[in-house]
Structure formats: structure tokens, C-alpha cells
Structure 1
Amino acid sequence: MERRPSAPRENKMGVQPVGKLLAGMAIPMMISMLVQAFYNIVDSIFVAQLSEDALNAVSLAFPLQNLMIAFGAGTAVGINALLSRSLGEKNQAMADRAANTGIFLSLCSFVVFALIGIFLSRPFFEVQAAGEPVIVEYGTQYATICLGLSIGIFSQFCFERLLQSTGRTTLAMVTQLTGAIINIIMDPILIFGLLGAPRMEVAGAAAATVMGQIIAAALAVFMNFRFNPDVNIRLREIRWNGKVAGEIYRVGLPSIVMQSIGSVMVFGMNKILFGFTKTATAVFGAYFKLQSFVFMPVFGLNNGMVPIVAYNFGAARMDRVKRTVKLAVCAAICIMAFGLAVFQLFPETLLGFFDASEEMLRIGSVALRIISISFLLAGFCIIAGSVCQAIGNPFYSLIVAVARQLVVLLPVAWLLSQTGQLELVWVAFPVAELMSLTLSAVFLRRTIRSAEARVGAVQAEQLPPQEA
């Protein structure tokens, strides 16, 4: 299974007008991310119809799932940045090595998380929900299936990013939509035992999820071999390459750590909230599902922006880099402003999707209004962090993530919980985001200046002596 090398040609990321290019690459990803958000929330909507304990189990599984996603997405970010930059530099050999080594790394990640899911799911839930045997049992079933059969999600991340890295975001959208639609269709069938299927309850939600992921991954593999001539995938080259792996994780590791920190934050918040009432943890889980409708389109915008920035930085076109960043920041802020308005005006309606009890509505309405204040600030921070990663300063993003979630958010939430007032705990989110905004602005400015200096130095070296 091998593709014939094609003749090099100019990639659209270096020649198409920036506004049209960003829209063309980002909009398909934003649509697919919205569908991803929809199918993520469908799990919880159907599971909530079983019981609040079932909803809690799926919510408490988030740290494990997020850790898995962190490794898959973080590795894909590294592949994306290295591959796009190599194409911008006209270095086809490195682009191919990035793709083939990235596939190998993704498969290794699957093996690790399959073992975690099989052997550590139950102890994980027993630590979080001691004394709640129903939650522990539901959660163990859900996590064991999602992690044990995670080859779909790791392969999907990898092969979809190969499409995105070369500008084929519409094809990546098709694979994501396919997986999402399969999940949405199979959720009620497997959860409630419809159409002759066995009633699997929470395990059915997990089974529907992995089924969609595996089919989407298979389609993404086909798309790359059939429609992506910019990358040459060869079975004999899908192996360990220390130099390439080091470069992938130089960019990807901070992203992995950043998202993994999210797992630590959610685990810590769940422990704090469980001290008030288990309904508070259900609210927090519902919030995370709901906020994905706001954040996922921004992540889609992000995914469309990163290869453009990386490619044009590799091609020494800083004018296009800065134009792309400005447009992406403006679009992200607009999306977040819309999300803020919805959360402020309709919190009860949003929580109603989860069959919320009166107590859940009372706690959740306050929570959604307070936390959503941070949305406007978060849009800029997401874009700024990805620009730093794409240009080659990933540790700036890591510093921001650690400071936001571990240095500020969790300690502030714990301190406010000591007042005995649950409402104050939610204030930790806008406080943390304000700090994140300050650091992100400083680091983005430094990154752009550093990139301009590096491009200027390269251009000076390439000039004839009399012109330099």
C-alpha cells in the first residue's frame, strides 16, 4: 500500500488571498467541530434519561477521556505543524517522514490507553465516587470501552490532520461528519435497546462512540491514499524515527501537557464540587458538554489557521502570517460573544436538555452565567496559544495552561469553596481566564517579533553579498 510521489507544485496556502483561504479551510472544520460537539452532547442527553447517576458517571469519565484526547490531538498538532512547515520549505522528504512517523506514534498511544482503560478504569472511579456503587459501575463500563477500543480516535486524529495539513479540510470534515452521524444514530439504539439491539445503557453510549470513531478513521485513511498526493504514506516507513518524533513532540508535547492539565483540573473540580453535592458535579459535566458548542467552532477555526501560519512562516511570508492571526482573533471573539449571550440569556433551556431536576436547574443557572463571562477572553487565548505552537514557541502555550488551570483556577476554586457558598466556586473561571489573557497577549507579541527576526535573518543570508 504505497503512493507514487507526485511532482511538487505550489500549495494554495502560499498563494490564495488570506481571507478566502482562512474561510475555506476553517469553515469546514468549524462545521465538523460543531457536529462533534453535537454528538458529544447526545451521549449525555440520552444517558441523562437513564438517571442522574448515569450522567454523573459519564461526566466523571471526562478526565480519562480528555487525557486520551490530549495525547491523540497533541501528537496530531505536532504532525500538523511539522508537515505544513516542511511543505512551505519545499522539503518533501521531511513532510513524508512527519506523516509516517506520526502514524507510528498514534498507534503506540492507542496501545498505552487501551491498557489504561482495561486495568485502571475501576480504581479511577472508586477514587472519585467512593460510596456510589452505581456511578462506579456505570463509569467503569463506559471508560473501559472508550479507552480499550480507542484505535479509532487515535487513527482519526492522525489521518484527519494529514488532510488538514495539506489544506484538504473539506475531506477531513467529511470523515468527522460520518463518524458523528454514526454515533448519533447508534446512541439511542444501543443505550435503550431499540430495533432488536440489546439494551446496553451507559455501555451502549460508549459502544456507539467507538463505532463512529473507527468508521471515521477508516474513511480518513482511504481519503489520504486516494485524494492527498502532497503526502506519501508508505507502510515500510511507518516506524520509529527519533529525530522526527522529537520534532513532532517538541511542538506536540506542550499541547499534550496542556490538555492533560485539563484532566487534572476537572478531576480536582469534581472533588471540590462533590463536597457540596453530587448534583454540582452533574452541573459541571453538563456545562462541559454545553460549552463545547461554543469552543468547538473556535477549535475548528484554530485547526484551519495553524497550517496556514506554519506554511507561510516556513515560506518566510510574515505578512500573510500576521493577516491570518488578526482575522482568526476577530472571528474567535465574535463566536465567543455569541456563546456568552446564549449562556447568559437561556441557561435553564440549555440545562433542560439533560432532564435537569429543580436542584440542578437552580445550581446550574448560576454556574452557566458566571463561567460564561470568561468566554470573550478565552477566544483570544486559544488563537494566541496555537500561533505560538505553529511558529515554534510551544512552551509559551504550556506556561499559560499551567498558570491558568493549576496555579490559579484550582487554588482559587478551593479557597472560595471554604466559604461554604457553591456560587462563589464558579468565579474561579473568569479569574483564571483574566490571568490567561494577560500572559497570552505578552507571549503572542514576543512570538511574532521573534518570527519576524528569524525570517529577516534568513532572507539576509540568501541575498547576494552586494545586496545584503
Structure 2
Amino acid sequence: MDEKSEFLGKDNIRKLLFKLSVPIVIGLLVQAIYNVVDTFYVGMVYGADSVQAIGGLSIAFPVQMIIMAFGIVLGTGGSSIISRALGARESEKAERVLGNVFSLSLVLSVLIAIPCLYYLDPILKVFGATAGVLPYARDYLKYIILGGTVFVFGVAVQNIVRSEGNARLAMNAMILGGGLNIFLDPVFMFGFGMGVKGAAIATVISQTIASIWLLLYYIQGKGAVRFRAETLKPDLKIIKEIGAIGTGSFIMECSNSVMMIFVYNALATYGGDVAIAVFGVVMKINSFIFMTLLGMAFGLQPVVGFNYGAKKYERIAEAVKLSLIATTTVGLLGLVIIYFLKEQLLGLFSTDPEYLELGKNAIMIMLLGTPLIGMNVITSTLFQALGKAKPAFLLSISRQLLFLIPAVVLLPQFYQLNGVWAAFPVSDSLAFMLSGFMLFRIYRIFKESKYSSKTDAGSETAEKISSV
């Protein structure tokens, strides 16, 4: 089993990160593309009402992300345990974790769907849905909630697949789901005349097929971790460990949605439906940069987890350094490209003059902190992979909860709508400083272990890490 993951502790770090990250980045970019395509087709279908329809999808998105966050908590928690178990050659533990992730995916998705469907309209109003955008948000989201199982399972298992070093399979699953969605969108939206409902149905069907493919991979015994039906039985100890490690990622996703409650309500107050639509479009454009950074972080995770289990700390230090250089470079290049193409990008979704003027100003301000985001993403992933739940949790909530929400509340009182846009680079800067401080502490420990001549240097380094 674990022989399939041995390369994580042997291969050249630079080549290893490239090998693991590129497939994940490609898969995530495909997902970003089909999210953009949804909005693009909505703009075409609704014409004069496109601003309200795009706003409806924007309001629905944070609720959709909360559903997917349950898959992320299972995936990040489970993958961290599995990668360390593979490094320590604990195959039975890895199998039990895999089985528990499978069973929890089904249970959690059902528990989510019931209250979300029953209280859908009140939930959307909390997120700032105005009378103009509410019908579109409702029509889209109710189908997404009904298909919640495939979203939770798909996101969780993609992370598990990456933890064993099979980034290509995770990429193929995302490409399969994203490609089908791009193909099915016009079929349901135009062919069947279903509008935003068709976009949601196309998304659920696409993700169902991709999730089935991932399920068959493990059922057929092709994974580095073997699936056994008896491991589906919930193990309280494993569930607690998954929850402790994955809570940081869960809170990060949920805090993003909670943040949007404040943002959308501020936008409704200072800008109305047009500002809500602009924000949704800018976030989708920015998702191409963020998904790339996230893919690099996902590529780092199994390298850190495996080598931590194998006590090869110098490899972790090198991997983190290279990942930081890469994410910072991508963030800077992405920012420059978007700045130069902002008018063309905004024009893909609507030609409304007010929307275009507002959008150009929003992009210029909102994305200023993009080159700094890589530090937060990489550092959060590092602590998750090490199984350090508390620092991972703190870093995961820093941008959205600790810094962005207070900025969104305070700055508009002085700068109105521009204050909403400015809250984003302010929070990016503060999260960068916090992440840099915490990374310096742990990175120094890894570097010290490289030069230590003590026979018990590995155990001493592990103790230092535990005290962080």
C-alpha cells in the first residue's frame, strides 16, 4: 500500500512540488472556469435582467461554499492523518480514516440539507439578498442543496487522493466534473429553457458523475489506501482527530461565507443590486488566482505530511520555501494581468454602463493585496499537514473573520462603497503579517534540525514542533 507513496520522501523537492501541484492547479482552474461559465450564460439568458440574475448567483455562492466546507473538513483532516500514516507505515490507520471519511460524507450532507431547504429564503435574506436577486438565488440554490451529498463526498475524496500523492487522478476528477458542467449548462439553460435552475442541475449531474468515478477508484482497490467495507463504521477517535485538524479549513470556508453576509449587506446599503453583481464577478475573476495558489498549497500538503511522519524535516523546510516563492510570484503576475484586462473581463458578463464603471473601480482596489495571499494559504496548509490544529485554525480564520469583517464594518462608515472594496487589501496585509510571524517560528525549527548532529535530533525536533 504505502510503497505507492514512497516517492514523497525521496524525489527532488522542486520536481515533486511541480508534479503534485500542476495537476491540482489545472483541475481547480477548470472548476473556476465552469463557475465563470455559469455566470456568463446567465448574463446571456437574462439580458436586461442580467445584473439581478448574476447577483442571485453571487448571493447563492457563499451558501454553496458552506455545504462544500463539510467536505473540506473531512478532506483536509482525513488527508493530513492519512499522509502522516503512510509516512509512518501505519496502513491500518489510513484505511480506517478512509472508511470514516466515506460514511461521514453521507451523514453530514443529509444533516445539512434538511435545515437549509426549510429555511432557504430566510438564509438568503441574511446573506443580503434583495427583492431583485432573491428569486434567482432561491431557484439556483435549492437544487445545489438537494445534491449536497456529491459535493461533500467529491471534495473530501479529492483531498484524500492527493494525500497519497495521486494528484493526477484528483485533477482528472475535477476536469471531468468541470468539463461536463460546461457542456451541460447550455443544454439545460437554453435547450430546456430552465435559466438558473438549469445551471444548478447541470452542476449537480456533473459532480455526481465525477464523485462516482472517485468512488470506483477505491472500491476497485486502485488507491494507495485500501478500502474495506468494515472501516465505514464510525470510529470516535478518528472522527475527533479529523475534526480537530480539519476545523481550520472548515472555519476558513465558513468564515468566507460569514464574511459575505457583512459584505453583501454593506453592498446592498452603499451600492445596491449593481454592487452585489460587481462583487460576485470580481470574486470569480480573482478565483483564477486564488485557485492557483490553493492548488500549490494542496501539492505541498502530502509532501509535508509524509516527510513529517518520516522525520525528514529538512525536506519540509525546502518545500515550504519553494512554495512561498511560487505563490507570491503567481499572485503578483495575476494582479498585473487582471489590471490590464479589467475592462475586457468585466464585459464578458454584462454591458450595463453602471456595472462596468463600478467594476473597474472595484477591481483596482479589491485585488491590491493579492500577492500577499500566498503566505496565508501556504502557512495554513503547513500547520494542517503537521496536524497542528490550533495554529491552523487561527490562520484559517485570520483573513475573513479576524481582519476582513471588522474592516468591512468600519471602513464604509468613512469611505462608503470604496470602504467595502478597501477592506480586502487591508485584511490581506494583516493576515500576511500574522502568517509570516507564525511561519518564522516553525521554519526555524526545521532549519535547525538540518544542522543538528544529535542522534535523537528527530525526536527533539518533533517536541519543539509540538510546543508551537
> Could you say what secondary structure the match of 1:418 adopts?
helix
What amino acid sits opposite 1:88 in the alignment? Answer: G
Residue pairs, 1:383-462, within 5 angstroms: 383-419=378-414, 421-449=416-444, 460=456
> Could you say what secondary structure the match of 1:426 adopts?
helix
Q: Quote the RMSD (CA, aligned, Å).
A: 2.2
The 8 Å contact of residues 36 and 177 in structure 1, kept in 2 or not, is answered as yes
Q: 2:294 aligns with which of 296, 299, 302?
A: 299
Write the distance in 1 (CA, Å) between the matches of 2:129 and 2:147. Answer: 26
Cα gap change, 1:271 to 1:356, in 2 (>3 Å): farther
Match of 1:135 in 2: 133
Task: Report how far residue 425 of structure 1 moved.
Answer: 2.4
Write the distance in 2 (CA, Å) between the matches of 1:262 and 1:54. Answer: 22
Q: 2:146 aligns with which of 145, 148, 173?
A: 148
The 8 Å contact of residues 391 and 451 in structure 1, kept in 2 or not, is answered as no
The 8 Å contact of residues 143 and 206 in structure 1, kept in 2 or not, is answered as yes
> Could you say what secondary structure the match of 2:290 adopts?
helix
**Greater fraction helix:** 2
Task: Report how far residue 163 of structure 1 moved.
Answer: 1.7
Cα gap change, 1:233 to 1:459, in 2 (>3 Å): farther
> Could you say what secondary structure the match of 1:232 adopts?
coil
Which 10-residue stretch deviates more, 439-448 or 324-333?
Answer: 439-448
How many matched pairs?
Answer: 453
Write the distance in 2 (CA, Å) between the matches of 1:127 and 1:168. Answer: 40
What amino acid sits opposite 1:441 in the alignment? Answer: G
Are 2:67 and 1:72 aligned? no
Task: Report how far residue 454 of structure 1 moved.
Answer: 9.5
Q: 1:332 aligns with which of 319, 327, 340?
A: 327
Render the CA deviation track for 1:390-443: whole Å, top value 9, x for unaligned.
112232232234343233222222222123532232111111111101110111
Residue pairs, 1:78-227, within 5 angstroms: 78-128=77-127, 132=131, 134-192=132-190, 194=191, 198-226=192-220
The 8 Å contact of residues 76 and 245 in structure 2, kept in 1 or not, is answered as yes
The 8 Å contact of residues 146 and 207 in structure 1, kept in 2 or not, is answered as yes
Write the distance in 2 (CA, Å) between the matches of 1:427 and 1:395. Answer: 29
Match of 1:466 in 2: none
Cα gap change, 1:271 to 1:227, in 2 (>3 Å): same
> Could you say what secondary structure the match of 1:336 adopts?
helix
Task: Report how far residue 92 of structure 1 moved.
Answer: 0.7
The 8 Å contact of residues 29 and 304 in structure 1, kept in 2 or not, is answered as yes
Which 10-residue stretch deviates more, 57-66 or 404-413?
Answer: 404-413
Write the distance in 2 (CA, Å) between the matches of 1:457 and 1:363. Answer: 60
What amino acid sits opposite 2:165 in the alignment? Answer: G
Q: TM-score, normalised by structure 2?
A: 0.92
Cα gap change, 1:130 to 1:100, in 2 (>3 Å): closer
Task: Report how far residue 9 of structure 1 moved.
Answer: 6.4
Task: Report how far residue 280 of structure 1 moved.
Answer: 0.7
Q: 2:238 aligns with which of 219, 223, 244?
A: 244
Write the distance in 2 (CA, Å) between the matches of 1:445 and 1:82. Answer: 24
Task: Report how far residue 215 of structure 1 moved.
Answer: 0.4
Q: 1:373 aligns with which of 364, 368, 382?
A: 368
What amino acid sits opposite 2:180 in the alignment? Answer: I
Are 2:358 and 1:358 aligned? no
Write the distance in 2 (CA, Å) between the matches of 1:7 and 1:335. Answer: 33
Q: Which runs of 5+ in 1 are unaligned?
A: 1-5, 464-468
Task: Report how far residue 128 of structure 1 moved.
Answer: 4.4
Cα gap change, 1:42 to 1:272, in 2 (>3 Å): same
Match of 1:275 in 2: 269
Write the distance in 2 (CA, Å) between the matches of 1:166 and 1:112. Answer: 29
What amino acid sits opposite 1:413 in the alignment? Answer: V
Write the distance in 2 (CA, Å) between the matches of 1:10 and 1:44. Answer: 39
